[in-house]
Amino acid sequence: MAVDLGATSGRVIVGRVSGRSVTTDTVARFPNEPLSWPDGLHWNLPAIYQNVLDGVRRAVRDAGDVRGVGIDSWGVDYGLVGADGRLIGLPYHYRDARTRGLADELDEAALYRRTGVPNQEINTLTQLVAERRAGALDPSARLVFIADLLAYLLTGQLGAERTLASTSQLFDPAGHWSEETIDAHGLPRRLFPETRRAGDVIGELRAGLVDDLGLRAALPVRAVAAHDTASAVAAVPAAGDDVAYISCGTWALAGVELDRPIRSEASRAAGFTNELGAAGSVRYQKNLTALWILSECLRTWSRDGRARDLPALVRAAADVPGFTGIVDPDAPELARPGDMPGKIARFCERTGQPVPATEAETTRCVIDSLALAFAHYVGQAAHLSGSRVDVVHLVGGGANNTLLCQLTADATGLPVVAGPVEATALGNLLVQALGAGTADELVAVRAMSAASSRTARYEPRGSPAVETARRRFEALLAPAS
């Protein structure tokens, strides 16, 4: 079974591997809502843990012969485990305000040379520096990322899976913690546990849980590519090497897979990150805000008494003129909660563009902008890494958005293969079943993903309007570059 923890919801999914394909069944879904406490914004870890246990119990009841468990989650966030093995407080949420402005104080050029990760307020390093400055960092504690923390609660075994560690800005993508970075920021080396590879067995469920869940025997918990994007990229149904990927959900990650990191000054200036994937590959990618922008629009309209259905809005957006007003999805103001339609309108007004007047026009503006951003960053990834790209694979929830997929093909000028939608869970399950410690195993994972997934192919439609829009989008980025 796969435990797939996202920043807004979680799922427990059972996969049945048979022959050359896998079928999946979602046995549990649950919300993942942060807690606003007096000291800041936190993750409700007890609720996550209880929901995971309930999902495992249901999976065992419904599926019977479960062979193992793998857990993936979002990156950067962590819990701290004390020397006595107890959790120290609740993990902070990456949107907590304690890091506001702190990333600008860190030496990005030096950090990028060591870790291949650009400065962001959400990074683990930035969060730890904030804790150290506040005097809240226990020097005897151990840092445990969210998926690893759930594995610890289930098995009692501490460790750091490498794809998660590589999101932290404290890890060298060559495969180890960056001691130079740790020392330079006054952090205790003890804080950082031994690392694991995707495919490693972490341990078995604790004896008390075996009885509580009604199991006949202990289940093994196996490390997968535990960063959710790493699991999603592992499931990209690609048969060759000349591909780019876009993992599109709340966030989007657009890039290419490499066998070595790119730590050039041009790469740093462009905001690309080097994070590990299954089988030790490097995910060379740009992280940007994606469908969360539409979710925030829906939240605002619902709060104003104008509840809207997203599929209906996307259909309506396809009928309005495209590429009128466009925004930079990575603009700082669009990465924060609030009146998103108002923020989009003000962005367009400030940049001298037509302001969206209806919900459909706002939706079209967001989708157009995402497609242009995907094209821009796929092109940059190929150029900066010297990679050839013949096709773009778009996986995750965005693969259901036919307008976004077609416009991405138009903007990139390349075919887009959309799907699987459930790429993260599929990658999690297949790494458990087949392993992903070697390149040959990863090829097998992707072949089985292709045999198990429904995909759609979108061919680019040449259009002068798209080329004009691409130039306008690049002009929007110019002041920030």
- Write down the H helix ranges in 388-463: 402-412, 423-434, 439-452
Task: Report the C-alpha dihedral over residues 371, 374, 377, 383, rounded to 10 degrees.
Answer: -90
- Write down the H helix ranges in 156-227: 162-165, 179-184, 207-212
What is the Cα–Cα distance from 23 to 67, expressed in whole angstroms?
A: 15
| Amino acid in position 120 | Q
- Is 379 within 8 Å of 228 (Cβ atoms)? no
Taking the alpha carbons at both ends of the chain, their separation in whole angstroms is: 44
- For residue 139, the Cα-to-chain-centroid distance in whole angstroms is 29
Which candidate, 179, 191, 181, places its Cα nearest to that of 139?
191
Tokens matching residue 435: 């392993």
- Is 436 within 8 Å of 294 (Cβ atoms)? no
- Is 248 within 8 Å of 395 (Cβ atoms)? yes
Active site residues: 228
Which candidate, 157, 141, 148, 165, places its Cα nearest to that of 80?
141
- Is 418 within 8 Å of 4 (Cβ atoms)? no
| Residues across the chain | 481
| Phi, psi (rounded to 5 degrees) for 2 | -110, 125
Cα separation values, 322 from 318, 347, 376, Å? 8, 17, 18
Cα separation values, 63 from 13, 221, 243, 260, 297, Å? 10, 17, 36, 41, 39
- Is 326 within 8 Å of 372 (Cβ atoms)? yes
What is the Cα–Cα distance from 52 to 50, expressed in whole angstroms?
A: 5
- Is 137 within 8 Å of 98 (Cβ atoms)? no
